[in-house]
């Protein structure tokens, strides 16, 4: 079952608008300007992450908080959930991964997001729907996850992909976190190369060849990290499309550098 879905295939689903920006206007502003009919706004910072701290800038929420958030948004285990963002699925992938981690059996990402939906002429609305609370029960463990020690070990024993831009991986720039560089042994694999200029994912065969070039094979232990566990979820999603089941280091670089004893590599 593909984790992606096209605009014409949504059917009966709970739809979550997960538009989000690291900087700039909040996603709720875009939602209020127009969204898919029936879609409910899901706030990445509030609903898909715990407060920032030593665990990183977007640590995993605990099961109780996540369950409460999803029920408030109308999520039930018996009904498919479709998530989307503006176009490239970066934020939507975090929603996909978190729902899957906490046990939802059917979560799809709208490939191409809101932009594709609108460009293909599907209806949009500013009307915010009345939400009937869902009955989703959060059960952790549905997707593989790494902590810092496991991520560091995987970089030497398997394949750990760094989903950030190559210049951040090399340590040439670091606009957000206090230390520049990467986890020793990690491989640079910028996640934005998983999508085409429109924001849609490249075909599965293209992605499969891309990840093979990094050594990421179905039989090899593979993981991914980024700055705070958002774009790395996009990397995990791309690998899922390619047939590679990968683990996510949710705390990512922002958690790694919170402990000054952890090694850092540049170049």
Return the CATH architecture of domain 145-256.
3-Layer(aba) Sandwich (3.40)
Is 42 one of the annotated active-site residues of the chain? no
Identify the active-site residue in 5, 13, 36, 226.
226
Give the pLDDT of the chain (267 residues) as one tens digit per residue. 799 999 999 999 999 999 998 766 678 999 999 999 999 999 999 999 999 999 999 999 999 999 999 999 999 999 999 999 999 999 999 999 999 999 999 999 999 999 999 999 999 999 999 999 999 999 999 999 999 999 999 999 999 999 999 999 999 999 999 999 999 999 999 999 999 999 999 999 999 999 999 999 989 999 999 999 999 999 999 999 999 999 999 999 999 999 999 999 999
| Helices vs strands, H then E, count in the chain | 10, 10
Instruction: Provide DSSP, 224-246.
Output: EE-SSSSHHHHHHHHHHHHT---
pLDDT for 26 equals 77
Every domain of the chain with CATH number 3.40.250.10 lies at: 4-119, 145-256
In DSSP terms, 225 is beta-bridged to: 162
The 3-class secondary structure across 51-84, one letter per residue, is: CCECCECCCCCCHHHHHHHHHHCCCCCCCCEEEE
pTM of the model: 0.96
Residue range 4-119, CATH number:
3.40.250.10
CB atoms within 10 A of CB 198: 13
pLDDT for 24 equals 64
């Amino acid at each position: 079952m593909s984790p992606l879905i096209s605009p014409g295939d949504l059917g009966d689903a709970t739809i979550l608008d997960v538009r989000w920006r690291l900087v700039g206007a909040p996603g709720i502003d875009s939602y209020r300007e127009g969204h898919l009919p029936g879609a409910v706004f899901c706030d990445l910072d509030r609903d898909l992450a715990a407060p920032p701290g030593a665990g990183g800038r977007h640590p995993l929420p605990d099961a109780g908080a996540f369950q409460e958030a999803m029920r408030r948004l109308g999520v039930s285990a018996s009904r498919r959930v479709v998530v989307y963002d503006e176009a490239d699925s970066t934020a939507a992938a975090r929603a996909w991964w978190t729902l899957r981690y906490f046990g939802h059996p059917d979560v799809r990402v709208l490939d191409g997001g809101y932009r594709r939906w609108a460009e293909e002429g599907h209806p949009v609305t500013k009307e915010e729907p009345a939400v009937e609370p869902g009955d989703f029960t959060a059960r952790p463990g549905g997707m593989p996850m790494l902590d810092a020690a496991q991520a560091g070990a995987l970089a030497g024993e398997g394949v750990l992909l760094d989903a950030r831009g190559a210049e951040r991986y090399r340590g040439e720039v670091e606009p957000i976190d206090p230390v520049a560089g990467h986890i020793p042994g990690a491989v640079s694999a910028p996640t934005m190369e998983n999508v085409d200029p429109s924001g849609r994912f490249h075909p599965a065969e293209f992605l499969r060849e891309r990840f093979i070039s990094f050594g990421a094979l179905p039989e090899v232990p593979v993981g991914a990290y980024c700055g705070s566990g958002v774009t790395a979820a996009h990397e995990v999603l791309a690998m899922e499309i390619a047939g590679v089941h990968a683990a996510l280091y949710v705390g990512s670089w922002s958690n790694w550098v919170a402990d000054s004893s952890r090694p850092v590599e540049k170049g």
